[in-house]
Amino acid sequence: MRTHTRALLAALLLGTAPVALWAQMVEPTTPPPAPEFAAQGQPVFVNRDEIYSYRALPEYHEPEFVTKFVEAGQLPPVAERLPTEPLVYSAANMPDGVGAYGDVMRHVIGGRPEGWNYTAGQSQGWGGIDIGLSECLTRTGPLFQVNPEDLQPLPNLAKSWEWSEDGMSLTVNLIEGAKWSDGDPFDTKDIAFYWNDVVLDPEVTPLNPASQETFGQGTTLEVIDDHSFRFVFTTPFPEQVLYSLAYGTFCPGPSHVLEPLHPAHGGESYDAFKNAFPPDYLNFPVMGAWVPVEYRADDIVVMRRNPYYWKVDEEGNQLPYLDEMHYRLSTWADRDVQAVAGTGDFSNLEQAENFVESLRRAADENAPARLQFGPRIIGYSLYPNLSGNGWGEPDERAQAVRELNRNEHFRMGISQAIDRQRLGESLVKGPFIAQYAGGLYPGTAYYDEASTVFYPYSLDSAKAHFAEAGLEDTDGNGFLNFPEGTLGGQDVQITLLVNGDYQTDRNLGEGVVAMLEEAGIQVALNTLAGNDRDAARDAGQYDWMVYRNGPELITVVQGTTQLAPTGPATSWNHHANEAGELDLLPWEQEMVDTVNAFIASRDPTERTELMKQYQRVFTENLYHVGLVAYPGALVINKRFANIPEGAPIFQFNWAEDSIMRERVFVPADQQQDYELHPDTLPGAPGGDGPVTAG
């Protein structure tokens, strides 16, 4: 029996639910079928070790212009700059094989860099900037092409790992001899700093929530030597931890420049630490393939190749192939327009409003860019803030809304007030959009339709649920009021947080406002620029938000701890209060227990069953209210080679990671003159910008 049916029955027996009201409630169903829309292009599936390995090669090469720096004594020879055993990409897995040096990838992004201190929570403006700068211990983006039987994170800065026999500890071996882009060694000093002074320090909050729970309750980390460390767990074989070592949650920063500024090591304050590397601090040391060498506010970030990059191709050519990277600081909509027109090189076509025009332009055989649609995994939901005990310091009005949010009838009312068909058509007509029940996406590995509860659109049913939640239009102005004892019975007023950087978010927000108004609920938009939206979200300062979902709802194995409030700050819509207390509702506790059981289980059948249960509890109780889901398309200029077939714009990570930009190249005869700083390399950290040889 569905929870709400149970609750209704109970209410009925207690004599609180008028029978007439009950009659108006429309029962949930399974989700309506989605229009047919086949993904274009299928990945060529391989095992992980077919993509790359770690080994010494007989010789190494670099671009000619870099050799000039070596000859001038400004750089050690390439073999000395590389690790003893660099990461070697297999030519057989590169669609166009070994590449050529030169050219630029011209990104356009809608975000703005706050600074380079990524692990202290500064955004770099997204769109692949941070993905390219911050290398992580393991890697997941390219897993879209890995055989399901071999599905596990790829090694990256962590070259290998071994479980103890009882599974209670994991030894992680780092690549040896790799260096930061300024030549400083990468070693366990960087790991210890990240663990102790970022993950374990509650004053430091990385952009992607990374706290001890991300690695398992009570997990500790011990350094063994310069290149190995050990995790010690409180439960056996928490294999999920390998995913937590990937993008977002274990991409250490350069401890040699960060540590002296951290308050635990003599730094002035947490604020000063966080903001010590503003965007105009050039040549910030990175492990990524390109280093920021120029910044012009609201204009551009330019990056040059990292001469210490630790990856090579099979012939020993140091990567990346592309000498320069641009990030034009514009808008996300402009990213689509420019990529399709050929004045930009890359876009994740993800705002449905741009689909028709982009498709039309890409259909021309002389179009500069290719466009390929993937599966339907761009999904938006309405997230009710579920904290009832103070997260975000709600005032009286907001607290009253939190209590409504925690009422299942209120959430059912929201869901049934939303006409997803109409909402989708307000973005784009055609076969793209599917009505989305929330939770795991149809077509993904752990999805189960029979476990998915969908509350279909019905204004009458929505109103009946709102009435059941105690809301009535007592003053006859068409809007529902709080009960007498709450805020003097005034109109219910909700604020809806949306990310103003995206047209889609704004349109969905407006749609929700209009539809809820029809159901008698007054909603006001709080539209903030991306970085400010993120800050309001993380501080819990919102009633509801319209949100583009993360990868955890696609892959389940990535960001698993974020699937429920498993820790004080793992969920997007339910954090602990200042005192660290999480006031979970019983069904939220059930979600947490299910996710923890999933993490603890190594049995595939059990894991599948647990995710069915998760999906049922999630969708039945409307942890988020699903809105719409649709496919996105990867748009890439035709001159680029080594773009893997069937690379989705989003799965384990965004396409900027999945396509492995360090091995993307432009064939010599197609190279363009787009470099802004030809023949230069990054200079000293904090210096003026790129430098030339001699």
Residues that bind ligand GLA (CB under 6 A): 126-128, 131, 332, 348, 350, 654, 656
For ligand GLA, which is the closer residue by CB, 51 or 378? 378
Measured CA to CA, the distance from residue 476 to residue 486 in angstroms comes to 18
Count the neighbouring beta carbons within 10 Å of the beta carbon of residue 287: 25
CB of 376 to ligand GLA, least distance (A): 16
Structure tokens at 176: 């040896």
CB of 132 to ligand GLA, least distance (A): 10
Structure tokens at 60: 């190494």
For ligand GLA, which is the closer residue by CB, 613 or 653? 653
CB of 547 to ligand GLA, least distance (A): 12
For ligand GLA, which is the closer residue by CB, 118 or 544? 118
Residues sharing a CB contact under 8 Å with residue 286, sequence separation 6 or more, in sequence order: 133, 134, 135, 180, 181, 254, 306
For ligand GLA, which is the closer residue by CB, 417 or 508? 508
CB of 131 to ligand GLA, least distance (A): 6
Residues sharing a CB contact under 8 Å with residue 427, sequence separation 6 or more, in sequence order: 352, 353, 433, 504, 507, 508, 628, 630
For ligand GLA, which is the closer residue by CB, 39 or 514? 39
Query: For residue 125, which of 277, 270, 298 has the smallest C-alpha distance?
Result: 298
* 84, 173 Cβ separation under 8 angstroms: no
For the sheet with 52-54, list strands across it: 52-54, 87-89, 311-313
Measured CA to CA, the distance from residue 66 to residue 75 in angstroms comes to 9
Sign of the Cα pseudo-torsion (10, 15, 16, 18, in order): positive
For ligand GLA, which is the closer residue by CB, 219 or 658? 658
Tell me how many degrees the CA angle 456-457-458 measures, rounded to the nearest 5.
115
- 410 phi/psi in degrees, rounded to 5: -65, -45
For ligand GLA, which is the closer residue by CB, 243 or 332? 332
For ligand GLA, which is the closer residue by CB, 246 or 523? 246
For ligand GLA, which is the closer residue by CB, 547 or 654? 654
Tracing tokens 């460390």 back to the chain, one arrives at 229
For ligand GLA, which is the closer residue by CB, 187 or 501? 501
Residues sharing a CB contact under 8 Å with residue 252, sequence separation 6 or more, in sequence order: 119, 137, 157, 190, 191, 193, 194
Measured CA to CA, the distance from residue 335 to residue 630 in angstroms comes to 19
Residues sharing a CB contact under 8 Å with residue 589, sequence separation 6 or more, in sequence order: none
Q: Which helix (H) or strand (E) holds 373?
A: strand 369-373
Alpha-carbon distances, residue 143 vs 49, 237, 647, 653 (angstroms): 12, 21, 10, 9
CB of 633 to ligand GLA, least distance (A): 11
Helix (DSSP H) and strand (DSSP E) numbers for the chain = 21, 24
Measured CA to CA, the distance from residue 582 to residue 213 in angstroms comes to 14
CB of 625 to ligand GLA, least distance (A): 22
CB of 40 to ligand GLA, least distance (A): 18
- Per the DSSP assignment, residues forming a β-bridge with 589 are none
For ligand GLA, which is the closer residue by CB, 101 or 332? 332
CB of 109 to ligand GLA, least distance (A): 7
DSSP letter string over 211-227?
Answer: SGGGG-TT-EEEEEETT
Structure tokens at 411: 């959430």
CB of 636 to ligand GLA, least distance (A): 13
For ligand GLA, which is the closer residue by CB, 126 or 231? 126
Residues sharing a CB contact under 8 Å with residue 535, sequence separation 6 or more, in sequence order: none
For ligand GLA, which is the closer residue by CB, 96 or 334? 334
* 278, 115 Cβ separation under 8 angstroms: yes
Residue 663 DSSP code: G
For ligand GLA, which is the closer residue by CB, 259 or 656? 656
**Cα distance from N-terminal residue to C-terminal residue, the chain:** 77
- Per the DSSP assignment, residues forming a β-bridge with 491 are 481
Q: Is 662 helix (H, G, I), strand (E, B) or coil?
A: helix
CB of 656 to ligand GLA, least distance (A): 6
- 245 phi/psi in degrees, rounded to 5: -85, 0
Q: Which helix (H) or strand (E) holds 7?
A: helix 3-14
Measured CA to CA, the distance from residue 691 to residue 583 in angstroms comes to 55
* 621, 574 Cβ separation under 8 angstroms: no
For ligand GLA, which is the closer residue by CB, 127 or 567? 127
CB of 386 to ligand GLA, least distance (A): 24
Measured CA to CA, the distance from residue 367 to residue 664 in angstroms comes to 20
For ligand GLA, which is the closer residue by CB, 118 or 654? 654
For ligand GLA, which is the closer residue by CB, 332 or 614? 332
Residues sharing a CB contact under 8 Å with residue 612, sequence separation 6 or more, in sequence order: 446, 448, 450, 451
CB of 178 to ligand GLA, least distance (A): 24
For ligand GLA, which is the closer residue by CB, 503 or 608? 503
